[in-house]
Amino acid sequence: MLIGSSLKMYFGRARTLEWTRAVAAICTEHPAVRQGLVEPFVIPSFPSIPEVIPVATAAGMLVGAQDLHWEDAGAYTGEVSAAELAEHGVALAEIGHAERRRMFGETDETVARKVAAALRHGIAPVLCIGEEIEGEPSAAAAACVAQLDASLALALERGLTGRLVVAYEPVWAIGAPAPADDAHIRAVGSALRAHLRGGALDAQVIYGGSAGPGLLPRIADSVDGMFLGRFAHEPAAFGAILDEALALQEQR
């Protein structure tokens, strides 16, 4: 199970390191991590990555980047390449988040190019997909599968392989007071898993979109983990979700 958080631009350097150290201390001691039941991760802002990596990796946490460019080098002012991120030891890269689509004009084409760049350098894309408007689960699943296929088309065309994390985040649930309905998450999560099964990529599906403590036990049969945001800003909340993952394992 994969459980982690993107810190977006909420924290500065000092707070990012404080949060990472606190969560790393929890992960170091937690049976869910020590027994290999949960693979925790953190995705800080770019400037914090070099300092976060030694703290996080010592505790068994993966470290990701919040974006990357599709080219390996060139005159792309302000951008960061997958090649450089790989040099730092970055394991994951968040790609195609709804905020980047809305604010910075990212499209299925640019997302597909970024996915290919990440896989080319051994970085697992955390590919964010989700429907724009709340509706029936079947329609949401169809929209997400279409978005997923468009985002993976270039990588599959080029025969790229590796790990893929699909973060299902209904756009209408991002920043909302509560996540999507349990039955909705389970329906879309199951559809995405079925669509990815047997493919060229080693794929997992995690849920994000106002995710926090209490949700995992209700959707764990249909997803492979949780993608946390502001509801994990307190390290204790991260620990509570690890507790839930451990309890689920003990019930099986």
Residues marked as catalytic: 97, 169
Q: Which amino acid is at 160?
A: L
E strand map for 2-112: 2-6, 39-43, 62-65, 92-95
Instruction: Determine the Cα–Cα distance for residues 1 and 24; give it in Å rounded to an integer.
Output: 17
Integer Cα distance of 74 and 65 in angstroms: 19
123-155 b/e (C-beta count within 10 Å ≥ 16 → b): bbbbbbbbbeeeeebeebbebbbebbeebbebb
